[in-house]
Amino acid sequence: MKLILHIGMGKTGSSAIQHALRANAERLMAQGTEYLGMWFDMLDPRFRGVQNQGQFFDLPPDEMLRATDTLIEVLRGRAAAGGVDSFVLSNEAFSGNARAMQPMITRLREGGVAIRAIGYARHPAAWLPSAYVQWGVRDKVDPGPVQPYATKARKLVRWYSGLLEWHRLMGDILDVRAYDKAGDIVADFAQAAGLALDPPGTRVLERGEDAEIVLRALFNSRFPKHVLPQAFDRAVLPGLDGVPRLEDMVERCFDYSETSAIIGEQAQLFERFATAFGFDPRDAGKTPPPAPEMSVLRDRLFDALLEISLDQAQRIRQLERRMNLLEKNGPGRAD
């Protein structure tokens, strides 16, 4: 049996690779390979999800070995049932947990499982801003307000040492590849793993618009502890993709460029109007008004939004007072 570990780093196309592995499940099975996903929940459901994976990495060495024995049995069972001899696990968190995973990998190799670990590294000038948005803003892992880029980036840059730890402990199974030279990251991973994969049709987990990043930073800074992206998604919006741009709405509402053509298409209508009423309204020589100046419009909209926000804040405070009174005094005693 063979086990391929895609170990990250994060922000090097991991989501695209995982999406492609899921989407190519049938094609992989035809190649004798099964994608196991991101987690070790086949060992215990409590290891499933980003919030719970730390429980797996924190297993003491003896428990990690028992978990590995269970994993070997799981792989043998799936191999027998599905006619496969190769498995893939992909999780970018693996890159920073070489020490925790070393007992498992040693036991797997002793059990006859051939293992390869494939990782990617990206130029830090591109990786650090991307990683900061992901783990400094979107998924705020540090306590307190969102940290400045310079502060957080000095912590994030140490993540490169995770691949060095893999190299030191298990370098003979490790293949670290240059993300910036890969071109199509899915195709590069498929080549490295000896698999055939259809790439995803669209980009996966894009960083989002700059305006969304600022909104998330403002929102997440309100909370003293770890804030997952879903908190902003539920309370505010999942992204700006569905939010219309002001310029687009202004163009929709104030683009009068086809006015002359519209009037010309109804020439007979206006001629009948002139015959019926003795004057042609087109003779007044009018032209459509100009489109509004964007800077003036934005300032006026800001005036309105400020007033709306203050009014809503007052109404919410009044509702909170009434709710507090209801909780204190019971129904019918809110006044």
Q: Output the CA–CA distances (angstroms, integers) from residue 26 to 31, 33, 37, 184, 239, in the order listed.
A: 9, 9, 14, 21, 32
Q: What is the pLDDT of residue 16?
A: 92
Instruction: Give residue for tokens 């190519």.
Output: 24
Confidence at 319, pLDDT banded by 50, 70, 90: very high
From the CB of residue 250, how many other CB atoms can be counted at a distance below 10 Å? 16
pLDDT at 154 over 80: yes
What does the pLDDT average to over 248-269? 88
Helix (H, G, I), strand (E, B) or coil at 115: strand
pLDDT digits (tens, 9 = 90+) for 100-125: 999 999 999 999 999 999 999 999 99
Instruction: Give residue for tokens 């920073």.
Output: 96
Q: What is the pLDDT of residue 148?
A: 93
Q: Mean pLDDT of all residues in the chain?
A: 90
What does the pLDDT average to over 53-67? 93
Q: Are 128 and 157 in contact (CB under 8 A)?
A: yes
Could you confirm whether domain 2-125+148-206 is CATH 3.30.70?
Answer: no
Nearest to 32 by CA among 93, 86, 96: 86
pLDDT at 126 over 60: yes
Both tokens assigned to 264: 């010309």
pLDDT at 200 over 80: no
Nearest to 76 by CA among 48, 125, 121, 42: 42
Where do the domains of the chain lie?
2-125+148-206, 246-284
Cα separation of 168 and 162, whole Å?
10
What does the pLDDT average to over 204-231? 85
Q: What is the pLDDT of residue 202?
A: 61
